[in-house]
Amino acid sequence: MLSQLFANGIVSGCLYALMALGFVLIYNTTRIFHIAHGAVFTASAYIFYFFLIVLHVSAWLALLLTLFLAAGIGMAIEHFVYQPLERKNSSLLIALLSSLGLYTVIVNLIAMFFGNETKVLRPGIEKTYQFGDIILTRIQILEVVAFVILFPLIMFVLKATFWGKAVRAVRDNQQLAMVMGIRIHQIRYSVFALGSALAAVAAMLQSLDVGMDPHVGMPILLVAAVAVIIGGVGTFHGAVLGAFLIAILQSLVIWKISARWIDAVTFTLLIIFLVFRPEGILGKRKRVEEALAQ
């Protein structure tokens, strides 16, 4: 029983980690608390549904089209919402409120066109595989495989390529990066595209596993945001560590208490970290002048 719950936590952690990694890429680069990331997640699930179920496109083509359109949505949000705010020197609070408003608009448009009912992409009983005492469905295994492939690949790109070094430079000091000739706006566009594509991967896998409705984006966005905070703001791999910690904790809560307590325990964990270790598990304490500079 415990091994099965732990395995379920790992599977959920893979989805949380993909979502958190996309969120932290955008946040670390732009310092925008990108609530509309949840809307990108929801939109990606419905775009995948539209191609796969309504138009009867092949699964691989539907996946590629969804990734492309999700990246486009992310870039469009940057171009039409965040960049105009930046040109007006608006505060990050204004960007946060604009992102929340955009999330509300996108989710309501999806509900208007597709309805509020839950949609299932794969009706029937999913094929399962047994590994000792652990039973996983084919989609759950695919979720783990997707994370195992994408996470090391993204970490390699961030550490070993010029683009990755530029992203980390913008994260550490945007003004200095600009002086060094890095094109900030191009980096921001690419980060929004990649972060949105990661959200799309998580959305497609979750929709194949449990279906979706117009409001699936906010719960996983909040988990991703909490994962970023407890893992360590400013780090990339910390968000992944936080995502797995939350997922395993949620599985234990379901086992020992009830699924109704998942959100309460998740945000209690957030409060504990904010009070006793605000820099997160892998974050480092900064001098006052460094904190003020950001």
Q: Tens of pLDDT along 232-276?
A: 988 999 999 999 999 999 998 988 888 888 989 999 999 999 999
Q: Tens of pLDDT along 62-88?
A: 999 999 999 999 999 999 999 999 999
Q: Provide the CB-side half-sphere exposure for 264 (13 A, CA).
A: 7
Q: DSSP class of residue 123?
A: -
Q: Which long-range contacts (CB under 8 A, 24 or more apart) does 58-67 make?
A: 63/204, 66/200, 66/204, 67/197, 67/200, 67/201
Please give the helix or strand (H or E) that residue 130 lies within, else none: strand 128-131
CA distance 237 to 74: 22
CB of 224 closer than 8 Å to CB of 25: no
CA angle, residues 119, 124, 127, in degrees to nearest 5: 120
Average pLDDT on 4-24 reads: 94
Closest by Cα among 148, 147, 195 to 15: 147
Query: Residue 208 corresponds to which tokens in the numbers above?
Result: 């194949």
Helix (H, G, I), strand (E, B) or coil at 128: strand
**Helix runs in the chain, H state only:** 2-30, 36-49, 59-77, 83-87, 92-114, 138-160, 162-172, 174-179, 184-210, 217-231, 237-256, 262-276, 288-293
Q: Tens of pLDDT along 96-140?
A: 999 999 999 999 999 999 999 999 888 777 788 898 889 999 999
Query: Residue 23 corresponds to which tokens in the numbers above?
Result: 């969120």
CB of 157 closer than 8 Å to CB of 166: no
Query: Residue 145 corresponds to which tokens in the numbers above?
Result: 């495989």
CB of 180 closer than 8 Å to CB of 1: no
CA distance 36 to 109: 14
Q: Provide the CB-side half-sphere exposure for 10 (13 A, CA).
A: 16
pTM score, two decimals?
0.94
Q: Tens of pLDDT along 156-167?
A: 999 999 999 999
